[in-house]
Amino acid sequence: GQNIDQPTEMTATEGAIVQINCTYQTSGFNGLFWYQQHAGEAPTFLSYNVLDGLEEKGRFSSFLSRSKGYSYLLLKELQMKDSASYLCAVRDSNYQLIWGAGTKLIIKP
């Protein structure tokens, strides 16, 4: 079966750095997405990786290793507004997105 694993919850301090990991086992791979979802709101797109390596976008970076079935989202200079759930999704061989359950990130002052 297809599986996306992320930690359920993480806690970090304002101003610090946090890394959210995602491991996947899917039938085929056609890209990996990270979305942010604030409580009670819709998911919003953060990043996309299809080749190995690091993609940097401001305070957020996303890394992919296809051989290891592994990605991480790195958030720097954490702000209180970064408190949200972060969803990892993989596009499979049928070009459908398979979603992880999400990681709830709690930021403390």
Partner 1 sequence: TAGITQAPTSQILAAGRSMTLRCTQDMRHNAMYWYRQDLGLGLRLIHYSNTAGTTGKGEVPDGYSVSRANTDDFPLTLASAVPSQTSVYFCASSAGLTLHTDTQYFGPGTRLTVL
Is residue 21 a contact point for partner 1 (CB under 8 A)? no
Could you give the 3-state DSSP secondary structure of residue 109?
A: coil
| 33 vs 78, beta carbon nearer partner 1 | 33
Is residue 31 a contact point for partner 1 (CB under 8 A)? yes
CA 43, distance to chain mean position in Å, is: 12
Q: How many Cα atoms within 13 Å fall on the side-chain side of residue 6?
A: 27
Is residue 96 a contact point for partner 1 (CB under 8 A)? yes
Is residue 91 a contact point for partner 1 (CB under 8 A)? yes
Is residue 32 a contact point for partner 1 (CB under 8 A)? no
Is residue 65 a contact point for partner 1 (CB under 8 A)? no
DSSP 27-78: SS-S-EEEEEE-TTS--EEEEEE-SSEEEEETTEEEEEETTTTEEEEEE-S-
Contact residues toward partner 1 (CB under 8 A) are: 4, 30-31, 33, 41-45, 48, 50, 87, 89, 91, 95-102
